[in-house]
């Protein structure tokens, strides 16, 4: 088999160890680095560009969606596969739009992960079976949130208000006494619920709906 080099970007040590264990017995697969945040990812990419990058969407310093776009732009030869717990179609579409070649859920098994890596290396797109099912249901049944159905939690409304005031993620975390990762998760959920692609459209949509 053709040798394939792999990079991992995930801030959970147990996840990184799990991936290494899954791939350890496959002689044609080798892990060249494991990065725990966005800065570390780009530091590693400057030294070595893997054939495939397994990228978590929820990174501690920068959204994995933004990282995907930047990696795809700066290192177009790297095949990006999202590896995440987020199964909503919004995130799938964002990642694919930003250059990801594959999308896996973290509960995937060894066979599926290896299959995904080999498929994207052949120039194909790979989506987790659960993701394919979700997308098909959305397409066939129209499972989309209408404007009237959008409901934000009290915490999401608090964060949305601070976003509108141009608070950074770090400032929001400090203001609400929560972790940076929690802020990022809430922001992703708010963007999903409002179907917003960036901060400008997020705030605009929030005002339109009378949420802020």
Q: How does pLDDT run across 44-62, given as a tens digit for each residue?
A: 999 999 999 999 988 887 8
Whether residue 115 is found in the same domain as residue 24: yes
For residue 149, being part of any structural domain is answered with: no
Q: Which of 59, 86, 89 is nearest to 71 (CA)?
A: 59
CATH number at residue 169: 1.10.10.10
Q: Which of 133, 153, 156 is nearest to 143 (CA)?
A: 133
Whether residue 179 is found in the same domain as residue 128: no
CATH number at residue 67: 3.40.50.2300
If one counts the domains in the chain, the total is 2
For residue 79, being part of any structural domain is answered with: yes
Whether residue 81 is found in the same domain as residue 118: yes
pLDDT above 90: percentage of residues in the chain: 57
State which residues form the domain around 99: 4-141
The pLDDT assigned to 150 comes to 63
* SS3 per residue for the chain: CCCEEEEEECCCHHHHHHHHHHHCCCCCEEEEEEECCHHHHHHHHHHCCCCEEEECCCCCCCCHHHHHHHHHHHCCCCEEEEEECCCCHHHHHHHHHCCCCEEEECCCCHHHHHHHHHHHHCCCCEECHHHHHHHHHHHHHCCCCCHHHCCCCHHHHHHHHHHHCCCCHHHHHHHHCCCHHHHHHHHHHHHHHHCCCCHHHHHHHHHHCCCC
Whether residue 84 is found in the same domain as residue 133: yes
Question: Which backbone phi and psi does 102 adopt, to 5 degrees?
Answer: -150, 165
The pLDDT assigned to 142 comes to 58
Whether residue 127 is found in the same domain as residue 184: no
| 183-207 tens-digit pLDDT | 988 898 898 888 887 888 888 888 7
For residue 173, being part of any structural domain is answered with: yes
Whether residue 123 is found in the same domain as residue 175: no
Q: Which residues of the chain have pLDDT under 70?
A: 141-150
Whether residue 53 is found in the same domain as residue 85: yes
């Amino acid at each position: 088999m053709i040798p394939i080099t792999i990079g991992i970007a995930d801030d959970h040590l147990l996840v990184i160890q799990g991936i290494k264990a899954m791939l350890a017995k496959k002689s044609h697969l080798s892990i060249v680095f494991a990065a725990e945040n966005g800065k570390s990812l780009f530091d590693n990419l400057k030294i070595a560009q893997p054939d495939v990058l397994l990228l978590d969407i929820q990174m501690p310093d920068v959204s994995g969606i933004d990282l995907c776009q930047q990696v795809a732009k700066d290192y177009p030869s790297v095949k990006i596969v999202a590896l995440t717990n987020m199964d909503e179609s919004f995130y799938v579409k964002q990642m694919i739009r930003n250059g990801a070649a594959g999308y896996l859920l973290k509960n995937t098994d060894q066979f599926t992960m290896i299959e995904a890596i080999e498929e994207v290396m052949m120039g194909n797109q790979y989506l987790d079976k659960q993701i394919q099912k979700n997308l098909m249901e959305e397409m066939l049944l129209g499972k989309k949130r209408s404007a009237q159905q959008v409901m934000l939690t009290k915490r999401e409304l608090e964060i949305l208000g601070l976003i509108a005031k141009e608070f950074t993620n770090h400032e929001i975390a400090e203001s609400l006494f929560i972790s940076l990762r929690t802020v990022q998760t809430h922001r992703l959920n708010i963007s999903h619920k409002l179907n917003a692609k960036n901060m400008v459209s997020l705030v605009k949509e929030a005002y339109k709906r009378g949420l802020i």
